[in-house]
Structure 1
Amino acid sequence: MNVHEAISKHSTAQHLHLVRFAELDEQREQAIEACLDLCRRGLSFNVDEINAITAEIIAHAKKGISPLRSYVTEDMVREYVNNK
């Protein structure tokens, strides 16, 4: 493999890694919005789905260049809703 092919292969791998991160991050944002909506309406909610996706993001980040995300607690959701 020549240098140009190696660079191209590396660039493609990084791009695909970031595309997957963006997909996971969007799923996480949707899960957060769903929890916020339930909390605003005074309904029961949990952060299990958010944190499952967060775990996927963290595992994915270990294989590439994408950023990490933090786990979310129910208190964090309540605090956010109460401060808005």
Structure 2
Amino acid sequence: MSVHEAISKHSTQQHLHLVRFTELDQQREQAIDEAVDLCKRGLPFTVNRINAITEAIIAHAKHGISPLRSYVTEDMVRDYVAKL
């Protein structure tokens, strides 16, 4: 394999890694929005879906260059809604 092919392959792998991170991050943001909406309306909510996606992001980051995300607590959602 030539140097050019190796660099091209590596670049493609990094790009695909970041594409997957973006997909997961968008899912996480949607889950956060849903929890915030429920909290605003005074309805019960959990952060289970948010943190399941966060766990997937953390696992994914171990295999590439994507950033990490923090786990979310219900208190964090309540505090955010209180500041709105």
Q: Which runs of 5+ in 1 are unaligned?
A: none
- Residue by residue over 1:18-61, the C-alpha shift from the partner in whole angstroms, topping out at 9 and shown as x without a partner, is 00000000000000000000000000000000000000000000
Partner in structure 2 of residue 50 of structure 1: 50
Query: What is the identity, as a one-letter code, of the residue corresponding to 1:82?
Result: A
Paired with 2:47 and 2:13, the residues of 1 have a C-alpha distance of 31
Paired with 1:83 and 1:12, the residues of 2 have a C-alpha distance of 41
Paired with 1:58 and 1:42, the residues of 2 have a C-alpha distance of 30
| 1:24 correspondence with 2:21 | no
RMSD, aligned CA? 0.2
Partner in structure 2 of residue 77 of structure 1: 77
Q: How many residues align?
A: 84
Partner in structure 1 of residue 38 of structure 2: 38
Deviation for aligned residue 1:16: 0.1
Length-normalised TM-score, structure 2: 1.00
Partner in structure 1 of residue 4 of structure 2: 4
Percent sequence identity is 76
Partner in structure 2 of residue 13 of structure 1: 13
Q: Which 4+ stretches in 1 moved above 2 angstroms? A: none
